[in-house]
Amino acid sequence: MLGFLRRNYEAWYPTEAPKQSNPIRIGLLGTSKIAPVAVILAAKTHPEVFVAAVAGRDVKKTTAYAKKYRIPIIHKDYQALLDDPAIDAIYNPLPNGLHFEWTIKALKAGKHVLLEKPSVSNATEARELFNSPLVSGPDSPVLLEAFHHAFHPAWQKFLTLIDRENIAEAHASMIIPKGIVPSYDIRCKYDLAGGCLMDVGTYPLSCIRMVFGTEPEECLEANHRKLPPGLDQKIDQAFSGKWRFPNGGMGTINADMIADGGYFTSMLDGFPTVALPKVEVKHREVVVESDLPTDQEHVVQQTVVMWHFTLPFVWHRIDIQENHAVRGKTDGKIVKDWVETSFLKEYRGKVGTDAWTTYRHQLEAFVNSIRKRPVAAWIDGSDSIKQMEMIDGAYKTAGLPVRPSITGV
């Protein structure tokens, strides 16, 4: 418990690192709620990063934001930020529908871009963005889609425990309790590329892709729950899906950005539901070498579960359960069976402390890429394209329209 409290205190209230003489100066597009955690907090412990500017369309709101987070430069519009020669990199957490436009403009201005997920509105935009000559040269700006959980050592450890060719099933789930996302939120606006699969659903979708390490062959099922009548019926407030992967394994997801149902009893129906994000991987049964009579065999079926994969620096656990059995080779009769269970945690990576957040690990990789240093993990452009292709395919299978591009960009 003391370790938990100490680690979280250091994560949320870190000691600021002295800045080097020529840090990467980051500018924020908009006054988002995520930037203080994703960039501002992470930058405090990075000696090579300085959050230098913020741009917003509401001058009063932007000024208050800059004052609160001690950001020295205020720009009255997004283009002014991109035109600022003192800014090296841009963080783009704007509504989904504006990602493509302002990322393209930032790249044209020569800025590196840390781009919030989902990268863009649809696969067409993704292909145009990530295949652009703006990012294909050896000295082009760095462009990174911010799937921050992928950079934490706990997630990297989890992946090492997976036998990809032997996966039978992989399931990932993540929800937001009812009451956090109001019906008027930008995430509920189709014209801004909203929807559950474009928000909380991007996490479990990316997880099953990373677990299998390849792309699915087919979307077998895609189900959704729409917003209540009277609201935008093109928006999914919950989404589930099933995909077949090349090894024959099945990947499934469940996501909900307005989850209710309470706990334990139907009397709590309508109350918010709270559940930890989770990825569960079931392997096929395999025969292992054992000193047994020739007419018997030892088989093992392994399941690996990661709890709280999105914010593992707060707390996480990796469960490994092995179901063992000794049985007859011909009749399949069980002679003996038993279960072995172990638990792992991985807070500290090769760099940093155990209090580094997922965002801090992500920022480390972003800076290292800009400085042309090796990175421990990365989300490359082809991966971001395939993520959006999978999202578009799921929407089509569900009978929902692909999220639109804003015309005139």
Number of CB atoms found within 10 A of residue 197's CB: 29
Q: Which of 117, 157, 278, 282 is catalytic?
A: 117
- State how far the Cα of 257 lies from the Cα of 176, in Å rounded to an integer: 4
Per-residue tokens: 245: 């992967």
One-letter amino acid identity for 12?
W
Three-state DSSP state, 285: coil
**Quick one: which H or E segment has residue 167?**
strand 167-177
- State how far the Cα of 315 lies from the Cα of 48, in Å rounded to an integer: 27
Per-residue tokens: 309: 């994969």
One-letter amino acid identity for 54?
V
- State how far the Cα of 135 lies from the Cα of 110, in Å rounded to an integer: 10
C-alpha of 43 from chain center: 19
C-alpha of 403 from chain center: 19
Question: Is the separation of the CB atoms in 385 and 157 below 8 Å?
Answer: no
Per-residue tokens: 88: 């090296």
The string of DSSP letters for 316-342 reads -EEEEEEEEEEEETTT--EEEEEEEEE
**Quick one: which H or E segment has residue 130?**
helix 123-130
Per-residue tokens: 321: 């359960």
One-letter amino acid identity for 237?
Q
CA-nearest of 92, 215, 214, 210 to 152 is: 210
E strand segments, 24-120 = 24-29, 49-55, 73-75, 89-92, 112-115
Residue 33 among the catalytic residues: no
Number of CB atoms found within 10 A of residue 166's CB: 15
Cα dihedral 14→16→22→28 (10° resolution): 50
Burial 15-29 (b: 16+ CB within 10 A, else e): eeeeeeeebbbbbbb
Hey, which residues are catalytic here?
Answer: 117
